[in-house]
Structures are given as structure tokens and as C-alpha cells.
A and B are shown apart, each in its own frame.
Chain A
Amino acid sequence: MAEEINKKIKTFEQQQWIKENLSYKKDSGSWAWIYHRISGIALIGYLFLHVYSLSPLSQGKAAFQHKMELYSTPFFMVLEWILFIVVLFHSLNGIRIVLVDWADGAKYHKQLYRFSWIIGIILFFAMGFIMFSHEILRVFGK
């Protein structure tokens, strides 16, 4: 009996999980789920890199400053700014998830999603201003 019912249920084909995932119709919640995973993987990767990149701290001032010169170049500053997109999305969507789970957010999760994008874009440019204002002042300032 159970066997027959099992045959009628469409099961998830694990061999073709990418194809299966892509075939689903996606709304804001599904995109949030996908982006949350991608940004989460990126962030744990960055955390490992962050520990590695700060390791010269234990070798004293000269070693650390030498390494920091590399990370203070415009290329790395732009990378840091791009990293902030990932941090922002994961944080704001994370808050959205907590609200959905604990504050009846399922009733307004789509509005929350749009709202978090608006807040995120504003914070992204605000951070850009904070991060690069010193550089901008140095070039165009007094």
C-alpha cells in the first residue's frame, strides 16, 4: 500500500537537483532564500580569509603594516565595499527571517523584502561615502 502511494508522489530527483531547483516558479521569498544561501557561503569563506589576513598581527608591527598596505589599495577598498553588499543582504534578510518566524512576519514578508532592499541600497551608498570620503578629500580636498 505504502509503496503504491509512494510511486504516485512526485519525488525530488537528487541526481538533477540543479535542474529541479531552477524549474520552480520563483517569487520574492524563493529569491531571498537563494541569495541568503549564496551570501552565507560567501561570508563564511570571507571569515576564514579574514582570520588568515589578520594573522600577521601576531608577528608584530612591521609584518602587519606590510600586509595592510596591500589591503589599503583602491582595488581592495572596492572589494570591501562589494563585500558590504553581501553582509547587508545577509543581515537584512536575516532580520526578515527572524520577523517571519517570531513576529508574524509571514503576513507581510513581501513588503519586508522590498523594504530591506530599499534600506540596503541606502546603507550601501552611505557606507561607500564613509569608506571613500577620506580618499576623496585627500584627492580633491584642501
Chain B
Amino acid sequence: MYKYQSSKNSGSKSWVLQRITGLALVVLMIGHYILMHFHPENGHTYDAVLIRMQFSWYRIIDLSFITLGMYHGLNGIWGIFRDYNLKPWLKISVVSILIILGLAFTAWGYNIIFSIPYITNLAGK
């Protein structure tokens, strides 16, 4: 049954954020698909990745893509769980697992992007 729970967090902020991140992801996804699939070399060779990663703004876009994707995805999964009125201990466990998974995979993704070197002897430098 519905039970009123006094809380400052009504979930409205996460609802708004879910829509904003969703729209941002649609824009990023369109760019991602055009870049990766318009020519097979672009998405599948190390050199193409290396060249793109020489631009810091490209790295920033990629980092935002991972962060937004993880937030939107895991918040969405939590939204599904929230529909089933879980017991408090289950709620805490599910949220903890989602946060740990999110942080771990985001950190892994960041780490991969940061591990790609800047080539110092690129034309003129």
C-alpha cells in the first residue's frame, strides 16, 4: 500500500535530470554514430582514435559521454527498481551496487581515455 514517507527528496530533480541527460545523449549519440560508422576506418583503427585523442576537446566530449551515459543508465535502472516498493535493506543494497558499478566503470572509461598518449612530435612540436 501507499505509505507517505517524509522526505525532502521527492525525486523531481532526478526526473528533470533524466530528461536533460537523455536529450544530451541523443545529440552525442548522433555525432558518435556519424563519426564511427560513416567510414569503417574511423571507428575501428588505433590510428584514427589516436588522432582524435590529440584534441583535448574531443577527450572532454568523450568523458562527458561516459559520465552522462552512466548516470542516465543507472538512474534509469534505479527507476525500474523503485517501482517495486523494495524493503529498506534491499533499497540500500541495490543503490549501493548501482553506485559502485557506475563509479567503477566510469573510472575505467576515464582511465582508458587518459591512457591514450598525446604525441609530442606532431608537426612542428
Which A residues lie at the B interface, using CB under 8 A?
A: 6, 9, 11, 14, 17, 37, 40-41, 43-44, 47-48, 51-52, 54-55, 57-58, 60-61, 64-65, 68, 71-72, 84, 87, 91, 94-95, 97-98, 101-102, 127, 130-131, 134
Report whether A58 and B111 are in contact in the complex, using a CB–CB cutoff of 8 Å: yes
Count class of interface residues, chain B:
35 or more
Report whether A71 and B46 are in contact in the complex, using a CB–CB cutoff of 8 Å: no
Which residue of B23, B37, B46, B112 contacts A131 across the interface (Cβ within 8 Å)? B37
Report whether A72 and B44 are in contact in the complex, using a CB–CB cutoff of 8 Å: yes
Helix, strand, loop or mixed for chain A's interface? Answer: helix
Which B residues lie at the A interface, using CB under 8 A?
A: 1, 19, 22-23, 25-26, 29, 33, 37-40, 44-47, 49, 66, 69-70, 73-74, 76-77, 80, 84-85, 101, 105, 108-109, 111-112, 115-116
Report whether B85 and A14 are in contact in the complex, using a CB–CB cutoff of 8 Å: yes
